[in-house]
Amino acid sequence: MSHADVTAKPETGCMCWGMYLEGCRWDHDAHRLAESAPKKLFVDLPLLHLVPEAERATPECGIYDCPVYKVQSRTGTLSTTGHSTNFVMWLELPSVYEQDAWIKAGVACHLALRY
């Protein structure tokens, strides 16, 4: 399903799209992260449905805490509001591997690429 197929607003939360995944690949069948395919540096992250939930407990395993940045440089300065100029948020992506593997591979999401 792509962003163009969405016709109605979800009841809670919101749908958004436009992220690129670096350092790994999205397995569309299993709905989780997988090793990159050769020569594919960036892949589109599928449509996201963000649902707010009060006092949610963070899952201990089965996820990778993926940082989301605006651009690929991955550096930013903190502004007075406490937000980074580049870092946007943490995104919990489902994965069967340990987090360590993805952390070492430097997996991250970007909102915009270099070109």
Partner 1 sequence: MVSRKQLKIFVEDYAEVPYKVLNYVGAEVNYGGRVTDDKDSRLITTILRTYVCPEVMQDGHKLSASGIYQIIPPGDKEDYLEYIRGLPLNPEPEAFGLHENAEITTSQNETVVLLENVLAMQPRASSGSGRTREEIIGDMARNLQDKTPGTFDLEAVSKAYPTSYEESMNTVLFQECVRYNRLLAEMARSLAAVQKALVGEVVMSEDLEKMADAIFDNQVPPTWTATGFLSLKPLASWIQDCNARIDFLREWIARGTPSVYWISGFFFPQAFLTGTL
Please give the residue ranges that form the binding site for partner 1 (CB under 8 A).
3, 6-10, 13-19, 23-24, 35-36, 38-41, 47-48, 50, 52, 67, 70-74, 76, 83, 85-89, 99-101, 103-106, 111-115
DSSP-derived 3-state class of residue 22: strand
- The span from the CA of 73 to the CA of 66, in Å, is 15
- The span from the CA of 29 to the CA of 86, in Å, is 31
- Considering the complex, state which of residue 59 and residue 85 has its C-beta at the smaller distance from partner 1: 85
Supply the minimum distance, in Å, between the C-beta of residue 27 and partner 1.
Answer: 15
Supply the minimum distance, in Å, between the C-beta of residue 26 and partner 1.
Answer: 14
- Considering the complex, state which of residue 29 and residue 100 has its C-beta at the smaller distance from partner 1: 100
Report residue 12 as tokens. 């809670």
> What DSSP state is assigned to residue 78?
B
The burial of 24, by beta-carbon neighbours within 10 Å (0-12 exposed, 13-18 middle, 19 or more buried), is given as buried
- Considering the complex, state which of residue 16 and residue 30 has its C-beta at the smaller distance from partner 1: 16
- The span from the CA of 100 to the CA of 6, in Å, is 35
- Considering the complex, state which of residue 94 and residue 105 has its C-beta at the smaller distance from partner 1: 105
Supply the minimum distance, in Å, between the C-beta of residue 28 and partner 1.
Answer: 18
Supply the minimum distance, in Å, between the C-beta of residue 55 and partner 1.
Answer: 13
